Structure 1
């Protein structure tokens, strides 16, 4: 056999080997991933809240939310049949929290409902593991998050237009609730604050246009104001301050925004101090405000309740985040009640792991969004429950984990394959 001639040309070296081009990027997540994310958000909307315009039986809502979770897990499994996953400290800690929840619920102190909640948490965590294949540090899941929660806010706005009386009932002190789907003011405030913060960061990172950002930010801020939700407002302000602060040294847009924000905040504090104080107090007395609208009484009773050593270590099993028939409204105490000191330590490890990785990452839009989400969840955990079970807060932290994931390895070049 004769020697084959060596091909020459602009793409060839003297050695006859073809120059490798730039490595292709990993494929973008398919649209089905966004559908799965929307189903997870639907599952965490809950079934208890305000009276809706069209009465919806709680059993029907629970069937819809649980069906959404089962559908999300099934779609994720079909989409990732080869079970390609990206292990992370965050998912490992969630899995450990799941195991602990099963152990603490096995003695049925909280009834069979605890085992059902464990099953729900297992499907939830399993779906996150299957979706981890598409975690690459990019903003894809941020966009899913903003779109889906904005769709929820559109339903809230529609309820306000259809029936203003049902959307702002006296039962909630005239605060905005969900008139089409039973959503409470803290829920609506949380969703609005999170998508406002993320959209502001996307705008600063030039990942969206000013008109598109305004179409989301302006109505979301209006709905947030109508909910009179202090926790969400403080979480938005402090979370954005930390996130933008992480960009100040590398982004001129962030520096400009930070400067204007400080100027506007100062002007508002001087000129609108009485109005802001009235909005913040919501007509409550100083005593009621000081004990956090009665929350402190529930917390004191929970901490004073007698517990066995096992209950202190492992809790009483997954419940409805209440004590003595009243909501706990504190993630740390809710976890302590249901998963014990061990569960509290695992949740603390989640924040330490995500926060530590965020500090080690160089300044970027992804890190800023992650810092905002981590900060918001940490602030809200003081007056809201949800860090120990399937909830929007775990979805927020999941988006943060996806943003902090290292970029996926590029596909090998033909030369590397041979």
Structure 2
């Protein structure tokens, strides 16, 4: 299936999935939004997304792959672990949400053909989200940079936390840089995405997102060095500029990185290590060890877990950890085995970013932006659809006009 025939409705569905994964907990907004209202909007977006995906794919044509198959097994495991109601009826509701989420991805898989269509949907939707963050910053700087979060940027119009904003900014920055290097977009369009995203990322003081962006881009661009002169030039200039910045602005970079924290607080990952130790030492039955306690709010004793692997272990057991590790490893292995290309580089960036962020952020075991990032990676690694046959000998080929070869606008 060619990306040229992808219905516009698919982009709408992807935007609704992004809306569903924004969450309902975060900073105080300029206009107070009841959490129940936000949950109605996000859940309504998911139901609408599933309905639209079903309407545009009534014949239920799908492209089976290991990622979606393992994600479906994780859904089954989540239901099994949640039926005991150790996490309350909310666990079953979260299973229903995950079922709609996975079902929508299955319906959209019909258009996964190794092209960059879903990369563009991803960039556009998260750019729109960052647009609301920027609007909130302009409308009320005090609400967007509250003392409660240490002056870090939050969502003043929609309750978004600094790590969320940093994640969105880092992901679309990395993807846009790769599209620019692959000549799939022009410099003006790339600048419109990259410049404001980097400014917002800096204002969030999010270390995980920054490291994920830098390491992910290094790995992705490294996969293009042998085949792309633009990638080699970019890599060389990045190394030079990075070295100069590290030497000339070492003190400022250290201050930004520490965020005013003490050495003890920094070494304990802002208190995360204490929660992780308590979770790992908690006595568990064999059933809880294997299957977990059911889908919850990614917290332990009222404190956020902030680690995808431990959150999955707590809610879906060691079997869940194995399934999550399996689909991450499968995507990474497929990406490494593919020949160098722009889709492969984008997939490597997304997989690397999710792997790095999983250490200090939860989300790989439930409907979340991280699963959307990996779904885009899966779409990039899908086998291309059959191409049209070459014209018979003696039949002239149709010339492609110059305007059709120009980079697309994001």
TM range (shorter): over 0.9
Is the aligned partner of 1:169 residue 2:141?
Answer: no
Q: Deviations over 1:348-393 (max 9, x none)?
A: 0011110110011100000000000000000000000000000000
How many Å separate the matches in 2 of 1:127 and 1:262?
41
Q: Give the structure 2 partner of residue 100 of structure 1.
A: 77
Q: Deviations over 1:90-132 (max 9, x none)?
A: 0000000000000000100000000000000000000000000
Q: Which runs of 5+ in 1 are unaligned?
A: 1-23
1:386 to 340, 363, 378: 363
Judging changes above 3 Å, is the alpha-carbon distance between structure 1 residues 414 and 112 closer, same or farther for their aligned structure 2 residues? farther
Pairwise mapping of residues 121-200 of structure 1 onto structure 2 (< 5 A)?
Answer: 121-200=98-177
Is the aligned partner of 1:246 residue 2:223?
Answer: yes
How many Å separate the matches in 1 of 2:186 and 2:264?
45
How many Å separate the matches in 2 of 1:256 and 1:414?
38
Q: Deviations over 1:146-195 (max 9, x none)?
A: 00000000000000000000000000000000000000000000000000
Shift of 1:33: 0.3
1:344 to 305, 317, 321: 321
Pairwise mapping of residues 50-69 of structure 1 onto structure 2 (< 5 A)?
Answer: 50-69=27-46
| C-alpha contact 2:152 2:205 (8 A) present in aligned 1 | yes
How many Å separate the matches in 2 of 1:67 and 1:94?
22
Pairwise mapping of residues 11-410 of structure 1 onto structure 2 (< 5 A)?
Answer: 27-410=4-387
Shift of 1:217: 0.3
How many Å separate the matches in 2 of 1:182 and 1:227?
14
| C-alpha contact 1:25 1:411 (8 A) present in aligned 2 | no
How many Å separate the matches in 1 of 2:262 and 2:5?
53
* TM-score normalised per structure 1: 0.92
How many Å separate the matches in 1 of 2:122 and 2:105?
14
* TM-score normalised per structure 2: 0.94
How many Å separate the matches in 2 of 1:342 and 1:145?
30
Shift of 1:26: 6.6
How many Å separate the matches in 1 of 2:3 and 2:239?
40
How many Å separate the matches in 2 of 1:121 and 1:414?
46
Shift of 1:409: 2.4
| C-alpha contact 2:3 2:117 (8 A) present in aligned 1 | no
Aligned residues: 392
| C-alpha contact 2:290 2:317 (8 A) present in aligned 1 | yes
Judging changes above 3 Å, is the alpha-carbon distance between structure 1 residues 90 and 126 closer, same or farther for their aligned structure 2 residues? same
Structure of higher CA gyration radius: 1
1:332 is paired with a residue whose SS is helix
Shift of 1:408: 1.5
| C-alpha contact 1:377 1:396 (8 A) present in aligned 2 | yes
How many Å separate the matches in 1 of 2:114 and 2:322?
27
How many Å separate the matches in 1 of 2:52 and 2:142?
39
Shift of 1:410: 3.9
How many Å separate the matches in 2 of 1:30 and 1:256?
37
Shift of 1:411: 6.2
Q: Which runs of 5+ in 2 are unaligned?
A: 393-410
How many Å separate the matches in 2 of 1:76 and 1:211?
33
Q: Deviations over 1:33-65 (max 9, x none)?
A: 000000000000000000000000000000000
| C-alpha contact 1:26 1:409 (8 A) present in aligned 2 | no
